[in-house]
Amino acid sequence: MLIGPLLPFRARFSFLTGINYFYIWWLRVTCGVKTQVTGLENLPKDRPYVALSNHQSEWETLYFQLVFRPQSVVLKRELLKIPFFGWALALLKPIALDRSQRREALKQLLRQGKERLSEGIPVVIFPQGTRVAVGKEGRFNKGGTMLAVSQGVPVVPVVHNAGICWPGKSFVKHPGTVQLVIGEPIETQGRSVDEVQQEVMAWMMAQMKAIGAA
């Protein structure tokens, strides 16, 4: 907390999230929760993007910081008030929204998302907005797709089934292997929001069913 603010953003991100490697290792050793990742090669290396993922567990909060490096994650503003965890999170350039003000939240997402992408920082969004249990679909908002289309950057669709091993809002973990699938970038230039959203959702729904997440 003392050193982090003094570092450039990318170095700060690596420094503050490095402990997540320990958390994931400890989760495997003590609870038998392993991870299988498919599609890492699909992450663009030379341009920013918007990653859209389903949301099931606290697991993705930890593991995604090890996959999308660096990143600016969209989250609810209240999380930044949590002692130590929230304070550290605030140093990682999150886009912290007040979801009770939906119209203003969307404007903030588009404004701050544009800033992050212009800095070359990928933006990670959970379009369901909250954790949704395994077997349920939930509602996927279009805000992330709108951001990607407005800036002409690709959408990287992501799905996982972490809720099987670590159900949302539960302390209990179950042994098993979390499957994380990263899709190929979906281009947005010259396309409408609805067109891109339809392609993203079709891929995500098919993959979620394939790994038992839906």
Domains in the chain (CATH in brackets) are 4-210 (3.40.1130.10)
Give yes or no for a contact between 27 and 174, defined as CB atoms under 8 angstroms apart.
no
Give the model's pLDDT for residue 3: 77
SS3 105: helix
Secondary structure (DSSP) of 124-146: EE-TT-S---TT------SHHHH
Q: List the beta bridge partners of residue 96.
A: 75
List all residues 6 or more positions away from 93 whose beta carbon is below 8 Å from its beta carbon: 9, 72, 116, 121
* Cis bond before residue 70 (omega within 30° of 0): yes
pTM above 0.85, yes or no: yes
Dihedral of the CA atoms 130, 195, 115, 12 (nearest 10)? 50
Angle at 129 between CA 127 and CA 131, to 5 degrees: 110
How far apart are alpha carbons 63 and 55 in whole angstroms?
Answer: 12
d(CA 211, CA 214) in angstroms, rounded, equals: 8
Pinpoint the alpha helices (H) of the chain. 9-17, 19-31, 59-67, 85-90, 102-118, 143-151, 193-210
Return the pLDDT at 28: 97
Question: Contact at 8 Å (CB) between 213 and 160?
Answer: yes
| Regions in the chain scoring below 70 on pLDDT | 1-2
- Look at residue 133 in the predicted model and tell me its pLDDT: 93
CA distance 125 to 214: 19
Output the pLDDT for position 214. Answer: 81
pLDDT at 185: 98
Question: What proportions of the chain, in percent to the nearest 5, are helix, strand and coil?
Answer: 45, 15, 40
- pLDDT at position 85 is 86
